[in-house]
Amino acid sequence: DAGVIQSPRHEVTEMGQEVTLRCKPISGHNSLFWYRQTMMRGLELLIYFNNNVPIDDSGMPEDRFSAKMPNASFSTLKIQPSEPRDSAVYFCASSLEVTEAFFGQGTRLTVV
Amino acid sequence: AQSVTQLGSHVSVSEGALVLLRCNYSSSVPPYLFWYVQYPNQGLQLLLKYTTGATLVKGINGFEAEFKKSETSFHLTKPSAHMSDAAEYFCAVSPASGNTPLVFGKGTRLSVIA
């Protein structure tokens, strides 16, 4: 398996623009997680899905953030409108029954 | 609820010296415990995990960790540091029952000096 695949690896956008991050989990995994990593706050869980259903989105910072998982092989994290403080590395991870999480390479987002 | 405290945001060791990265956890239920490593511009990679059974767990790259319930600790060690061990290390906890995500510590950056 190719592991968790995230795209794009890098994204630079202007403040106010919509940003969409994409994730393909490992085939057969039933849980998917979106994390955000910053120097100040470390690794924060934004939202997680189990069997394509959002279970806990309490980590989503604001209504500007939304996430979807239309099927078992694809998820998106959208920020609209984006702000400079959203600049971070965003990780997607997947797991089977949450015994451990497998991480993608991350998307480095820069909002200018 | 679970939480993780990693003592020391930055640890520096000489090549060949012992590596000790500290992790203490808080959990109201029996925990699963994990150590991940992150190299620059990479995602997190699992080093080792404790679920049940033997409390001394061996992982990749010569690392090991011991689960000590009485001390609520899961410290990571390696007898002899190598330059390639320089990275960020994260300790994480999840409850042994249920389907809830890992809670991560803030990480410890390991530097290895030649």
Residue B42: burial class (beta carbons within 10 Å; 0-12, 13-18, 19+):
middle
Q: Are strands A10-13 and A107-111 parallel, antiparallel or unpaired?
A: parallel
pLDDT for res A2:
81
pLDDT of residue B41: 86
Distances (CA, A) of B106 to A21, A43, B13, B28, B49: 24, 7, 20, 20, 18
Average pLDDT over residues B22-31: 90
Q: Which residue of A has its CA nearest to B100?
A: A98
pLDDT at position A112 is 97
- Cβ-count burial of A3 within 10 angstroms (0-12 exposed, 13-18 middle, 19+ buried)? middle
Contact A91 B51 (CB under 8 A): no
Higher-pLDDT residue of B96, B45: B45
Q: What is the pLDDT of residues A57-90, one digit of tens each?
A: 999 988 999 999 999 999 999 999 999 999 999 9
Average pLDDT over residues A82-100: 90
Top-confidence range, A17-26, A40-49, B31-40: A17-26
- For chain B, the C-alpha Rg in angstroms (whole number) is 14
Query: What pLDDT, on a 0 to 100 scale, did the predictor assign at position B114?
Result: 93
* Inter-chain contacts counted by CB atoms under 8 A, chains A and B: 50
Torsion from C-alpha of B51, A29, B23, A38, nearest 10 degrees:
-170
